[in-house]
Amino acid sequence: AQTVTQSQPEMSVQEAETVTLSCTYDTSESNYYLFWYKQPPSRQMILVIRQEAYKQQNATENRFSVNFQKAAKSFSLKISDSQLGDTAMYFCAFIPGAGSYQLTFGKGTKLSVIP
Amino acid sequence: KAGVTQTPRYLIKTRGQQVTLSCSPISGHRSVSWYQQTPGQGLQFLFEYFSETQRNKGNFPGRFSGRQFSNSRSEMNVSTLELGDSALYLCASSLTGTRSYEQYFGPGTRLTVT
């Protein structure tokens, strides 16, 4: 069974600064997919970024980027130039691929952006 | 394209009753998954449907069931409601046949059991 661990229950960052959210996972799969989802107070779950395990290049989406370390089973999210709208719960999630669409989520990190 | 829609958005039921929640996926998406979100247990996978067939099921009792229709719309049903079933139920849809495995979520149905 896969597990996803987010060790930081809460974090805060000043507006315009950079913050990194940590995530580790455990799996015996060799090819899988990792995601970061954002859930603002509205509760709508929004896909932030995706990483495919077979790709060595770290994914980037505008101000969001990941540091994917496959050997260490680590998948951190970096948010640059933090904005007030980034305030939300952030969930790291894992899918084994191979036709399975079952997401396994971490417990989440509550990020507060301070003006 | 319209996003994933879920109805109703809010629901209050009493113990012992049953409830049906509905989910309409993004047009062209044939895979629909359901998740339960609670403060204590976090986000947990309920089941996934593709082409009207349940492909995966999470570790939930048989009171939780679902189905998918030919137009990919999905419903989940919870019978004999318990207080612990109070949760946000999220539906997600995926475009299959690609290697992205991205899932797009609806706004959720907030179920309160009293």
Dist. CA A59–CA A56, nearest whole Å: 9
Q: In the prediction, which pLDDT does A66 show?
A: 97
Q: Which residues of A touch B41 (CB under 8 A)?
A: none
The shortest C-alpha distance from B87 to chain A (Å) reads 12
B100–A45 C-beta distance less than 8 A: no
B90–A103 C-beta distance less than 8 A: no
Average pLDDT of span B103-110: 96
Confidence band of B39 (pLDDT split at 50, 70, 90):
very high
| pLDDT value at B98 more than 80 | no
Chain-centroid distance, C-alpha A57: 16
Dist. CA B46–CA B37, nearest whole Å: 10
Q: In the prediction, which pLDDT does A43 show?
A: 87
Dist. CA B41–CA B76, nearest whole Å: 19
Dist. CA B24–CA B2, nearest whole Å: 10
What are the tens digits of pLDDT across the range A9-39? 999 999 999 999 999 999 988 889 999 999 9
CB-defined contacts A:B, below 8 A: 61
Distance set, CA B28 to CA B50, B73, B90, B97, B103 (Å): 12, 11, 19, 11, 13
- In chain A, which stretches have pLDDT less than 50? none
Burial of A7 (0-12, 13-18, 19+ CB in 10 A): exposed
Q: Tell me, what amino acid is at B109?
A: T
| pLDDT value at B99 more than 80 | no
Q: In the prediction, which pLDDT does A100 show?
A: 83
